[in-house]
């Protein structure tokens, strides 16, 4: 009789979905600390916290994502049992518009709120580009005064310096979509030709990458990109492209000259001239608060990709150099952006509600801080109380409780205590600063051994004999009653 072949068990692959990643100790604690610093600044400026669901109705979210080739236009969406379509939020702004429209009779106006948390984009993932990432936003809803825009720019500058980006390593760049609309009028594009207007705006947004010559080609027939692929252009004539190019190169050494150049670029456009007047007011307000061109600057090349901006737009760019994957030097780039969006709440209410706000890309800002060496990737581990005698677990638990009650992070070793070396290996893997050791002999004498693991690791390469190891200062015997005080000193030494 033939043997029956056992069917191979199909086990799931231990992998996250494409475009998603896991975050471990140092990543999570570093992000948490940075979010605390950011929200401290937001709170100091008078903004209140708001937490909205991760899921919104598709109707409430609207359709503002540029990646229209993806399913559901770039959002993760599904149909509920009652046939209603829902989606994971793709930013913090669309939920805010829904909240303000829903609770507008109860909220103060202007309403100033900050929010933080993960957002999801159903976009094609790539190197460093994930489908889930953190944002930290602050918005003012209900004020048409450009002082609200100036305040957001000032707060963004303060935030970057607070988290550890020094002055000189960043710049907040400010522009106005009204100026862009004025340029489009000068080009001769009617307001209802949204497809061409959007194509021009996307082309302008590539100025930093392709320069004036590249933008000229893309506004016209098109150009070959670095890979040799041909990119179709917008199809403007040379005469139509000139106001756009004049706009792009209008930034001068001082704000007054930049504004004068912009006036030339927009010609007689009323919308363009209003946008320039807004920029002038923002510049004056920032100067009055002490924010000079070394921190915040008027820059016509800032476009911002999302279609709902209606007025001032701003972007925080980190200016220090890093090495890319191929070892080439490049600037770190943008970590935050935002602007005025006076039409977003109108979708719900039918009435225009002015609003302006900023969103910080938390993961990119964390990466920048690591590049500057201002934040570590390793979490601070707990003090580990080792187990020398299983029958004295109560003694070890008492030690752990004393340390925790003193505000010291601590844990007892809960694995198999038979091999003491494995306990120390565990403590090393946990990045523990100190190990506490109490055998039967130490218990009788009323002492414990405490081991400075960080110092021990540094010294171990230089120590060759057991006698030297016993004599080195990484391990010391202390009175049992001095446990908390001596452990605290050892941690301070390790961190010092």
pLDDT in tens, 382-407: 999 999 999 999 999 999 999 999 99
What is the value of pTM for the model shown? 0.83
**pLDDT value of residue 71:** 47
Residue 469 pLDDT > 50:
no
Residue 209 domain-assigned (yes or no): yes
Query: What's the whole-number average pLDDT of the chain?
Result: 87
| CATH code of the domain covering residue 452 | 3.40.50.800
- Does one domain contain both 320 and 387? no
Q: Which of 188-202, 265-279, 410-424 has the lowest mean pLDDT?
A: 188-202
| CATH code of the domain covering residue 34 | 3.30.930.10
Residue 368 domain-assigned (yes or no): yes
- Does one domain contain both 175 and 319? yes
- Does one domain contain both 199 and 319? yes
What mean pLDDT is predicted for residues 80-101? 90
- Does one domain contain both 209 and 318? yes
CA distances from 477 to 422, 454, 473 (A): 21, 17, 10
Residue 465 pLDDT > 80:
no
Residue 4 domain-assigned (yes or no): no
Residue 76 pLDDT > 80:
yes
What mean pLDDT is predicted for residues 465-482? 72
- 22 burial (CB, 10 Å; 0-12 / 13-18 / 19+) is exposed
For tokens 């908390």, what's the residue?
A: 484
Residue 321 pLDDT > 60:
yes
pLDDT category at 325 given cuts 50, 70, 90 is low
- 117 burial (CB, 10 Å; 0-12 / 13-18 / 19+) is middle
- Does one domain contain both 395 and 297? no
If one counts the domains in the chain, the total is 3
CA distance 496 to 493: 5
pLDDT category at 460 given cuts 50, 70, 90 is low
The model's pLDDT over 264-303, given as tens digits with 9 standing for 90+, comes to 888 888 989 999 999 999 999 999 999 999 999 999 888 7
**pLDDT value of residue 147:** 97
Percent over 70 (pLDDT), the chain: 90
What mean pLDDT is predicted for residues 216-223? 89
- Does one domain contain both 373 and 389? no
Residue 468 pLDDT > 80:
no
Q: What is the dihedral of CA 67, 69, 75, 76, to 10 degrees?
A: -150
Residue 69 pLDDT > 70:
no
What mean pLDDT is predicted for residues 53-66? 80
- Does one domain contain both 316 and 402? no
- Sequence-distant (≥ 6) Cβ neighbours of residue 468 within 8 angstroms: none
Residue 150 domain-assigned (yes or no): no
**pLDDT value of residue 332:** 83
What mean pLDDT is predicted for residues 429-433? 92
- Does one domain contain both 172 and 303? yes
**pLDDT value of residue 386:** 95
Residue 404 domain-assigned (yes or no): yes
What mean pLDDT is predicted for residues 166-181? 92
- Does one domain contain both 354 and 397? no
CA distance 8 to 12: 13
Residue 152 domain-assigned (yes or no): no
Q: Residue 55 — φ and ψ, nearest 5°?
A: -115, 135
Q: Which of 55-69, 148-162, 163-177, 428-442 has the lowest mean pLDDT?
A: 55-69
The strand pair at 222-224 and 383-385 is best described as: unpaired
- Does one domain contain both 324 and 353? no
- Does one domain contain both 291 and 182? yes
Residue 50 domain-assigned (yes or no): yes
Distance of CA 24 to the CA centre of its chain: 17
Q: Residue 111 — φ and ψ, nearest 5°?
A: -105, 125
pLDDT category at 480 given cuts 50, 70, 90 is very high
3-state secondary structure the chain: CCCCCCCCCCCCCCCCCCCCCCCCHHHHHHHHHHHHHHHHHHHHCCCEECCCCCEEEHHHHCCCCCCCCCHHHHCCEEECCCCCEEEECCCCHHHHHHHHHHHCCCCCCCEEEEEEEEEECCCCCECCECCEEEEEEEEEECCCCHHHHHHHHHHHHHHHHHHCCCCCCEEEEEEEHHHHHHHHHHHCCCCCCHHHHHHHHHHHCCHHHHHHHHHHHHHCCEEECCCCCEEECCCCCHHHHHHHHHHHCCCCCCHHHHHHHHHHHHCCCHHHHHHHHHHHHHHHHHHHCCCCCCCEEECCCCCCCCCCCCCEEEEEEEEEEEECCCCCEEEEEEEEEEEECCCCCHHHHCCCCCEEEEEEEHHHHHHHHHHCCCCCCCCCCCEEECCCCHHHHHHHHHHHHHHHHCCCCEEECCCCCCCHHHHHHHHHHCCCCEEEECCHHHHHHCEEEEEEHHHHHHHHCCCCCHHHHHHCCCEEEEEHHHHHHHHHHHHHHHHC
The strand pair at 383-385 and 355-361 is best described as: unpaired
CB 489 within 8 A of CB 471: no
Residue 464 domain-assigned (yes or no): yes
Q: Which residues pair with 434 in a beta bridge?
A: 452
CA distance 139 to 112: 6
Query: Which of 464, 490, 466 shows the shortest CA–CA distance to 477?
Result: 490
- Does one domain contain both 25 and 125? yes
Q: Residue 353 — φ and ψ, nearest 5°?
A: -125, 110
CA distance 296 to 282: 10
CA distance 305 to 450: 57
CA distance 28 to 405: 24
List the domain range (segments joined by +) for residue 471: 383-495
């Amino acid at each position: 009789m033939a043997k029956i072949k056992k069917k191979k068990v199909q086990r799931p692959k231990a992998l996250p979905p494409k475009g998603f990643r896991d975050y471990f100790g140092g990543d999570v604690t570093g992000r948490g600390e940075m979010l605390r610093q950011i929200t401290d600044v937001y709170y100091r400026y008078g903004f209140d916290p708001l937490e909205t669901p991760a899921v919104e109705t598709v109707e409430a979210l609207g359709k503002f994502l540029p990646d229209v080739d993806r399913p559901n236009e770039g959002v993760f969406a599904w149909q509920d049992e009652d046939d209603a379509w829902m989606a994971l939020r793709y930013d913090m702004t669309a939920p805010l518009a829904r909240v303000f429209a829903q609770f507008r009779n109860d909220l103060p106006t202007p309403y100033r709120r900050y929010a933080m948390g993960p957002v999801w984009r159903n976009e094609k993932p790539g190197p460093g580009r994930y489908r889930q990432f953190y944002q930290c936003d602050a918005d003012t809803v209900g004020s048409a005064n450009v002082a609200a825009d100036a305040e957001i720019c000032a707060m963004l500058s303060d935030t970057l310096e607070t988290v550890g980006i020094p002055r000189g390593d960043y710049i907040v760049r400010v522009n106005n979509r009204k100026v862009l609309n004025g340029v489009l009028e000068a080009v001769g594009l009617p307001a209802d030709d949204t497809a061409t207007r959007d194509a021009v705006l996307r082309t302008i947004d590539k100025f930093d990458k392709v320069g004036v010559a590249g933008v000229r080609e893309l506004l016209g027939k098109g150009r070959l990109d670095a890979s040799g692929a041909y990119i179709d252009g917008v199809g403007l004539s040379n005469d139509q492209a000139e106001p756009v190019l004049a706009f792009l190169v209008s930034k001068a050494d001082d704000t007054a000259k930049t504004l004068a150049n912009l006036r030339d670029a927009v010609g007689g456009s009323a919308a363009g001239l209003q946008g320039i007047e807004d920029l002038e007011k923002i510049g004056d307000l920032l100067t009055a608060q002490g924010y000079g061109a070394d921190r915040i600057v008027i820059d016509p090349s800032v476009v911002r990709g999302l279609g709902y901006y209606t007025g001032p737009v701003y972007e925080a760019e980190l200016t220090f150099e890093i090495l890319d994957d191929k070892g080439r030097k490049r600037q770190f780039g943008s970590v935050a952006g935002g602007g005025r969006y006076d039409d977003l709440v109108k979708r719900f209410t039918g009435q225009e509600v002015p609003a302006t706000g900023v969103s910080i890309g938390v993961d990119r800002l964390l990466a920048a801080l690591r590049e500057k060496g201002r934040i570590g990737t390793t979490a601070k581990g707990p003090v580990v109380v080792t187990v020398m005698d299983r029958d004295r677990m109560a003694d070890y638990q008492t030690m752990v409780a004393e340390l925790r009650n003193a505000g010291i992070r601590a844990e007892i070793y809960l694995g198999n205590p038979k091999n003491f070396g494995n306990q120390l290996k565990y403590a090393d893997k946990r990045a523990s600063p100190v190990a506490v050791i109490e055998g039967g002999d130490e218990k009788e004498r009323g002492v414990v051994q405490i081991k400075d693991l960080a110092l021990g690791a540094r010294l171990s390469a230089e120590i060759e004999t057991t006698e030297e190891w016993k004599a080195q200062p990484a391990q010391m015997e202390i009175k049992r009653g001095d446990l908390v005080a001596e452990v605290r000193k050892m941690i301070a030494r390790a961190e010092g």
